Amino acid sequence: EGIMSGKREKACGVDVHSKFIMATILSTDGLKLQKRFDTSQEDLLMFKNWLKENGCHKVALESTGNYWLPIYYVLEGSVNFILANAYQIKHIPGRKTDALDSEWLAEICLKNLITPSRIFTGDYRELRSLTRTRESLIKVRTKIKNQVTHELEAACIKLSSAISDVFGKSGRHIVDGLLNGIDLDAILDSVPSKKVKANKEKIRATIQASLSSSQITLLRSLLNTIDAITRQIEEIDSKILEKISSRSEDMKIALSMPGMGFISASTILAEIGDFRDFSSANKLAAYCGLVPSVYQSAGKLINGHITKHGSPHIRGMIIEVAHAIIRTKRISKLKKFFLRIKARRGAKIGIVAL
């Protein structure tokens, strides 16, 4: 910046909408240019030329949704691209109206008041898209599984009280047999698991009624959907495996932790991106929103609940891993830590602390 101080500085603020962008160039000597562009590739290239013609090499825009991505792809490498975090710029004083307009962005960019958000590039972004898609597919599948359990219970088939997983091998064997109208004894005699077979009488007691034709149609449809989603998840898993192979060292470190499996490790690594962006463990924890918020009361600093800034995906996964750690039989250092806090503050706070 020092070299530039003799010259006049210019910055462009971009207000991004789904169909168009509004751009404003401001300079330190009071120049103001404003122009609207569509979000088509053609128009975005015109926007790039407009910046070039006006000698503007600094562009700031807000990181809402994925709307900023096409603009980033067009401008990458030709300007200093600053992605502003909505939460951070909202708290910069001097803002008059609620709407985030391009002029205000240009102004705070010119004054260097924006702390740029991290931008995930290439493989990092692709890996994160894969793990997030996987997460949403799991959510949909769980919802449909609950619907199946609900439909079976409505038909007086309460399998879940006798079998640990209705959607496991034996569970599906029984449900598919019932849908195909096979005799219950024949179904139970051919169950693949010896353990489940030993529970024959208990299972028989949970099946009180037979299914009507419309219930069969509905359950078949739901089960086919579950199977289709499972296949998609498996496809995504093999893609994740492919993408993460370049980070085998990171993966080894992540998997060395108790409670961590391939999926949780790859999700956490995908959400972190390049860990070298963080100068300390505490900065990384803050990025995940897992550090306590601090507030002042009567001159004393008090730690409150976690800030919950940053990615909810990584927080959810880290908390899942924490649950896995406390379920392990082995009393590890981490489990001891949890038990100590649980005794003092309760299980919920213990999990988050862990």
Strands 80-84 and 58-62: parallel
Looking at residues 205-215, what average pLDDT do you find?
90
Instruction: Read off the tokens for 280.
Output: 């300390």
Spell out the residues 6+ positions from residue 180 whose beta carbon is closer than 8 angstroms to its own: none
pLDDT band at 310 (very low <50, low <70, confident <90, very high): confident
pTM (2 d.p.): 0.78
pLDDT band at 100 (very low <50, low <70, confident <90, very high): low
- Which range among 6-15, 38-47, 122-131, 306-315 has the greatest average pLDDT? 38-47
The confidence score (pLDDT) of residue 7 equals 65
User: What pLDDT digit, counting tens, does each position of 173-195 carry?
Assistant: 999 999 999 999 899 999 888 88
The confidence score (pLDDT) of residue 3 equals 44
User: What pLDDT digit, counting tens, does each position of 246-263 carry?
Assistant: 999 999 999 998 899 999
pLDDT band at 66 (very low <50, low <70, confident <90, very high): confident
H/E run at residue 55: none
Q: Residue 238 and residue 139: Cα distance in Å, rounded? A: 19
Question: Is the confidence at residue 5, as pLDDT, over 60?
Answer: no
The confidence score (pLDDT) of residue 295 equals 66
In contact, 117 and 85? CB cutoff 8 Å: yes
User: What pLDDT digit, counting tens, does each position of 324-345 carry?
Assistant: 999 988 888 999 999 999 999 9
Q: Residue 47 and residue 16: Cα distance in Å, rounded? A: 13
The confidence score (pLDDT) of residue 223 equals 97
The confidence score (pLDDT) of residue 294 equals 75
Question: Is the confidence at residue 54, as pLDDT, over 90?
Answer: yes
